Amino acid sequence: MKIVPKSPNSRSSKTESLLPSTLPDFRKPVSRSRSIRIDFGAVALRPESLMDKFVIRGGNPLVGSVRISGAKNAALPAMAAALLTDEPVILENIPDVRDIQTERNLLVSMGAEVELGYGRASHRTTISCSNLGNPEAAYELVKTMRASTLVLGPLVARMGRARVSQPGGCAIGARPIDLHLKGLERLGASIKQEHGYIEASARRLNGGHIIFDKITVTGTEDLMMAATLAQGETVMENCAREPEVIDLAVLLTKMGAKIEGAGTSTIRIQGVEKLHGARHRIIPDRIEAGTFVIAAVLTGGDLTLTNCDPTHLGSLIQKLEEAGVRITAANDSMRVTNGHQLIAADISTEEYPGFPTDMQAQYMTLATQAQGTSLITENIFENRFMHAHELVRMGANIKVEGRRAIVRGKTQLSSAAVQCSDLRASASLVIAALVADGETIIDRVYHIDRGYERIEEKLKGAGAQIRRIGEILPKRAQAPSVVA
Ligand code: EPU
What's the per-residue H, E or C state across 400-436?
Answer: EECCEEEEEECCCCECCEEECCCHHHHHHHHHHHHHC
Whose Cα sits closest to atom 5 in ligand 1?
A: 177
User: Which residues are within 8 A (CB) of 208 and not within 5 positions of it... i.e. 6 or more apart?
Assistant: 186, 187, 188, 230, 234
Poorest-pLDDT segment among 37-41, 71-75, 135-139, 265-269: 37-41
Residue 273 pLDDT > 80: yes
* Ligand 1 contacts CB of residue 147 (under 6 A): yes
Poorest-pLDDT segment among 108-117, 169-178, 202-211, 456-465: 169-178
Strands 15-17 and 2-4: parallel
20 or 370, which is more confident: 370
Residue 478 pLDDT > 90: no
Query: What was the pLDDT predicted at 470?
Result: 83
CA of 238 to the centre of ligand 1 (A): 14
CA of 175 to the centre of ligand 1 (A): 7
User: Which residues are within 8 A (CB) of 284 and not within 5 positions of it... i.e. 6 or more apart?
Assistant: 68, 69, 70, 71, 93, 307, 308, 309, 312, 332
CA of 354 to the centre of ligand 1 (A): 14
* CA 272, chain centre distance (Å): 30
Render pLDDT for 285-326 as a digit per residue (tens, 0 to 9).
999 999 999 999 999 999 999 999 999 999 999 999 999 998
Residue 35 pLDDT > 80: no
Are 405 and 385 contacting, i.e. CB atoms less than 8 angstroms apart?
yes
User: Which residues are within 8 A (CB) of 311 and not within 5 positions of it... i.e. 6 or more apart?
Assistant: none
Are 234 and 208 contacting, i.e. CB atoms less than 8 angstroms apart?
yes
The angle that helices 243-254 and 72-81 make with each other, rounded to 10 degrees, is 30
Q: What is the DSSP string of 207-245?
A: --EEE-SS--HHHHHHHHHHHHTSBSEEEEES----HHH
Render pLDDT for 182-233 as a digit per residue (tens, 0 to 9).
999 999 999 999 999 999 999 999 999 999 999 999 999 999 999 999 999 9
Residue 387 pLDDT > 80: yes
Q: In what order do the strands lie in the sheet with 372-377?
A: 347-348, 372-377, 404-409, 397-401
Give, in degrees to the nearest 5, the angle at Cα 6 between 164 and 111: 40
Q: Best mutation site among 238, 287, 380 for ligand 1, i.e. most ligand atoms within 8 A of its Cβ?
A: 380
Nearest by Cα to 346 from 408, 401, 392: 408
* Ligand 1 contacts CB of residue 73 (under 6 A): yes
**Rounded alpha-carbon distances, angstroms, from residue 269 to 132, 237, 275, 458:** 25, 12, 13, 40
Give the H/E segment covering residue 139: helix 139-142
* Type of residue at 150: L
Residue 484 pLDDT > 80: no
Atom of ligand 1 nearest to the CA of 218: 23
SS3 state at 274 = coil
* Type of residue at 329: A
Query: What was the pLDDT predicted at 19?
Result: 26
Give the mean pLDDT of 44-52.
60
Residue 24 pLDDT > 80: no
CA of 285 to the centre of ligand 1 (A): 16
Q: Label residue 11 by pLDDT band (50, 70, 90).
A: very low
* Ligand 1 contacts CB of residue 177 (under 6 A): yes
Q: Label residue 5 by pLDDT band (50, 70, 90).
A: low
Query: What was the pLDDT predicted at 167?
Result: 84
* Ligand 1 contacts CB of residue 219 (under 6 A): yes
Render pLDDT for 112-151 as a digit per residue (tens, 0 to 9).
999 998 888 889 999 999 999 889 999 988 888 989 999 9
* Ligand 1 contacts CB of residue 178 (under 6 A): yes
Query: What was the pLDDT predicted at 120?
Result: 83
Atom of ligand 1 nearest to the CA of 172: 44
CA of 161 to the centre of ligand 1 (A): 24
474 or 12, which is more confident: 474
What's the mean pLDDT when you consider all of the chain?
88
Active site residues: 170
* CA 8, chain centre distance (Å): 34
Query: What was the pLDDT predicted at 472?
Result: 56
Nearest by Cα to 467 from 449, 447, 441, 429: 441
Q: Label residue 175 by pLDDT band (50, 70, 90).
A: confident
Give the mean pLDDT of 28-32.
32
Give the mean pLDDT of 58-64.
96
Residue 97 pLDDT > 90: yes
* Ligand 1 contacts CB of residue 152 (under 6 A): no
d(CA 67, CA 81): 26
Give the mean pLDDT of 412-417.
96
Q: What are phi and psi of 310, to 5 degrees?
A: -60, -25
Whose Cα sits closest to atom 6 in ligand 1?
A: 216
* Ligand 1 contacts CB of residue 40 (under 6 A): no
Nearest by Cα to 113 from 122, 104, 121: 104
Can you give the C-alpha Rg of the chain in angstroms? 23
